[in-house]
Amino acid sequence: MADVLLIAALICALAVAIWFAVRYLLLKRSLRQVERDLRAIAGQLEENRILRLPRPDRDMEALLGTVNEALDGIRRQGVEYARREAELKAQVESISHDLRTPLTSIQGYLALVDEDALDAETRASLETVARKADVLQRLVAQFYELLRLQGEDSPLELGRVDAGRLLRESVAGQYRLLAERGLDVRLSAPEHAVWARANADALERVFSNLLHNAGKYATSALEVSVLQTAEEDGRRVLVTFANDADALDGDQVERLFEPFYTADGSRTRESSGLGLAIARRLLERMGGTIEARLENRDGTSWLRFEIALGADASLPSD
């Protein structure tokens, strides 16, 4: 009798062990499925999907219910953020228009003033007013452009762009600014075309912003170059801007692409701090990058910007 009871106890114990083992394996499988579903939902939060447990379990269902509530809250916050962003953009557009209209009128009236009839002091004051009005108009335009770019995630329409020719034209277009600063400009661009995969208008704006930045803050020299390189992951078009700079350190360089950030030495030079932020955003939308770093050349600090763009894959290497 004792043997029978022992055998029965062992059978019961084995059955319970098997039941727990099967339940454990099914629970692990369910968790793996939930993890895959959660990863997919996290990648597409805009879709109104929820987590479901493949097999019933009261405790796990309670946990997933809490996770689904959190996902729903995140979606609601995303919708609210998008609504507020759209409202802010509309408000900025309205403010931009409200500022541009009187600024244009001010500049128009300033242009009508007969400067020859003014004494030297009044003429100097008028020139200051005109310059400040131009600065304010440029600031309003840059602020609106940056806000518009930050609200657009779609890539720009790309095509085949001769980066070398565009760079030469951009330097020529900024000649007056660079000459007024007395800069020694050294341009290195091959005679043959350097084809990049980019948007011509956006790339021209990037070059213009970087040249304008150098024209304001370079001490005595500016070096600009463009070349095509072959790397493991494909060909690249590299464009560099380098100028000597005073009183810059590594922490300041890391912040140069932040909107409205200006280094201490540039606060009196009527800078908005938006040009470099706009340049980075435009390059990101073209699939490119821009980085800044400091170099030491014989005891002199040089600020170097490096732009990397994809080369046009439809053309052979030079």
CATH code for the domain in which residue 288 is found: 3.30.565.10
Kindly indicate the confidence band of residue 268, based on its pLDDT and cuts at 50, 70 and 90.
Answer: very low
Q: Quick one: 44 and 109 in the same domain?
A: no
pLDDT (0 to 100) of residue 210? 93
Q: Quick one: 182 and 130 in the same domain?
A: no
| Residue 93, pLDDT above cutoff 50 | yes
Which of 280 and 317 is assigned the larger pLDDT?
Answer: 280
Give mean pLDDT, residues 5-21. 79
pLDDT (0 to 100) of residue 261? 65
Q: Quick one: 27 and 126 in the same domain?
A: no
Which of 222 and 64 is assigned the larger pLDDT?
Answer: 222
pLDDT (0 to 100) of residue 98? 75
CA dist 164 and 194 (Å) reads 5
Q: Quick one: 141 and 49 in the same domain?
A: no
pLDDT (0 to 100) of residue 127? 85
Indicate whether 214 belongs to any domain.
yes
Q: Quick one: 278 and 295 in the same domain?
A: yes
Which of 210 and 135 is assigned the larger pLDDT?
Answer: 210
Which of 40, 59, 79 terminates a domain? The answer is 79
Highest mean pLDDT among 116-125, 229-238, 251-260: 116-125
pLDDT (0 to 100) of residue 27? 76
Q: Quick one: 204 and 289 in the same domain?
A: yes
pLDDT-wise least confident of 193-207, 262-276, 295-309? 262-276
In sequence order, the 6+-apart residues with CB closer than 8 A to the CB of 212 are 174, 177, 275
Indicate whether 229 belongs to any domain.
yes
Which of 207 and 38 is assigned the larger pLDDT?
Answer: 207
Kindly indicate the confidence band of residue 317, based on its pLDDT and cuts at 50, 70 and 90.
Answer: very low
- CA angle 224-219-274, nearest 5°? 70
| Residue 207, pLDDT above cutoff 80 | yes
Average pLDDT, the chain: 80
Indicate whether 315 belongs to any domain.
no
Which of 105, 120, 150 terminates a domain? The answer is 150
| Percent of the residues in the chain that have a pLDDT greater than 70, as a whole number | 85
Go through 110-140 and write b for each residue having 16 or more CB atoms within 10 A of its CB, e for each that does not: eeeeeeeeeeeeeeeeeeeeeeebeebbebb
pLDDT (0 to 100) of residue 267? 43
CA dist 211 and 217 (Å) reads 10
pLDDT (0 to 100) of residue 260? 66
Q: Quick one: 223 and 299 in the same domain?
A: yes
Indicate whether 195 belongs to any domain.
yes
The boundaries of the domain holding residue 74 are: 2-79
Indicate whether 316 belongs to any domain.
no
The total number of structural domains in the chain stands at: 3
Which of 23, 48, 79 terminates a domain? The answer is 79
- CA angle 285-318-279, nearest 5°? 20
Q: Look at residues 79, 86, 76, 74 and name the one whose alpha carbon lies nearest to residue 150.
A: 86
pLDDT (0 to 100) of residue 313? 62
Q: Quick one: 163 and 145 in the same domain?
A: no
Indicate whether 20 belongs to any domain.
yes
Q: Quick one: 68 and 86 in the same domain?
A: no
Kindly indicate the confidence band of residue 150, based on its pLDDT and cuts at 50, 70 and 90.
Answer: low
Q: Quick one: 179 and 134 in the same domain?
A: no
